[in-house]
């Protein structure tokens, strides 16, 4: 992977060190530069789970992607820059109640002086990493986020500032065995390939702004 091309793609020109400041800068620049999108499914193109395919799509073609593409490639970048990063299975909160199946979403765990949840592949989420061992709320773009433990999963909830209602967002398998992209097919866990899946009900491309 051409690390310099990746950093140029996201417009990151800060220091390259495996620390909290660099992680925050990389995470924010990534979200502001690379869209969350599911267009390949609607174009009838196969979803290929490989770092090479992710790089070609996102860096060479200047495309976006969904969680496997975006978090998968970002994990590779962080690893090459010296961060200790793990891929985690995650589940997404459904409207009403309950969560989607295991491996429906991918998040990242980065271990620095404290553990941090990283997610550049959700579409509508936090812009900077969130510290997993912080018990209180963490502010981000007009919202608050917090972590709680439920049934062996780490639940991320959020609420608008000033609103007392916490809404579940995602559950991540923190503390469980991490996995790699290459292990997904072997485990029978594959991304959506057609429009019948929840992630592909309609064509979507989104990119947050500085505002």
- Token digits of residue 171: 């559950």
Q: Determine whether 67 is an active site residue.
A: yes
Angle at 190 between CA 83 and CA 60, to 5 degrees: 55
When the pLDDT of each residue in the chain is averaged and rounded to a whole number, the result is: 83
Among candidate residues 69, 119, 171, 174, the one labeled active-site is 119
Which pLDDT does position 191 carry in this prediction?
52
The predicted model gives 192-210 an average pLDDT of 62
Rounded-to-integer distance, Cα 43 and Cα 127, Å: 29
For the packed helices 20-33 and 3-10, what is the interaxial angle rounded to 10 degrees? 70
Q: Determine whether 151 is an active site residue.
A: no
Query: Which residues constitute the domain of residue 157?
Result: 3-177
Q: Determine whether 105 is an active site residue.
A: yes
pTM, full prediction: 0.86
pLDDT 10s digits, 120-151: 998 778 899 999 998 889 988 888 998 988 77
130 within domain boundaries: yes
Give the domain CATH number at 63: 3.30.2140.20
43 within domain boundaries: yes
191 within domain boundaries: no
pLDDT 10s digits, 99-123: 777 777 889 999 999 999 999 998 7
Percentages of the chain per state (helix, strand, coil), in multiples of 5 = 30, 25, 45
CB 20 within 8 A of CB 112: yes
158 within domain boundaries: yes
Among candidate residues 69, 104, 105, 174, the one labeled active-site is 105
pLDDT 10s digits, 149-173: 877 788 888 888 777 788 877 777 6
The predicted model gives 9-15 an average pLDDT of 95
88 within domain boundaries: yes
187 within domain boundaries: no
159 within domain boundaries: yes
Please state the domain count of the chain.
1
Rounded-to-integer distance, Cα 32 and Cα 53, Å: 21
């Amino acid at each position: 992977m051409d690390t310099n091309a990746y950093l140029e793609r996201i417009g990151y020109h800060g220091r390259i060190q495996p620390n909290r400041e660099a992680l925050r800068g990389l995470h924010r620049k990534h979200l502001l530069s690379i869209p969350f999108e599911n267009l390949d499914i609607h174009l009838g193109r196969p979803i290929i789970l490989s770092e090479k395919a992710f790089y070609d799509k996102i860096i060479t073609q200047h495309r976006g992607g969904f969680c496997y593409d975006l978090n998968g490639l970002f994990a590779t970048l962080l690893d090459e820059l010296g961060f200790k990063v793990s891929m985690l299975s995650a589940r997404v909160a459904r409207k009403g109640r309950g969560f989607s199946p295991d491996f429906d979403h991918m998040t990242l765990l980065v271990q620095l002086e404290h553990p941090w949840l990283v997610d550049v592949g959700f579409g509508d989420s936090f812009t900077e990493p969130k510290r997993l061992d912080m018990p209180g709320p963490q502010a981000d773009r007009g919202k608050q986020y917090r972590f709680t433990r439920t049934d062996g999963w780490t639940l991320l909830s959020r609420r608008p500032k000033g609103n007392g209602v916490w809404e579940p967002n995602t559950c991540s398998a923190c503390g469980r065995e991490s996995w790699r992209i290459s292990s997904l097919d072997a485990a029978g866990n594959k991304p959506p390939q057609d429009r019948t899946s929840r992630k592909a009900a309609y064509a979507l491309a989104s990119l947050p702004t500085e505002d």
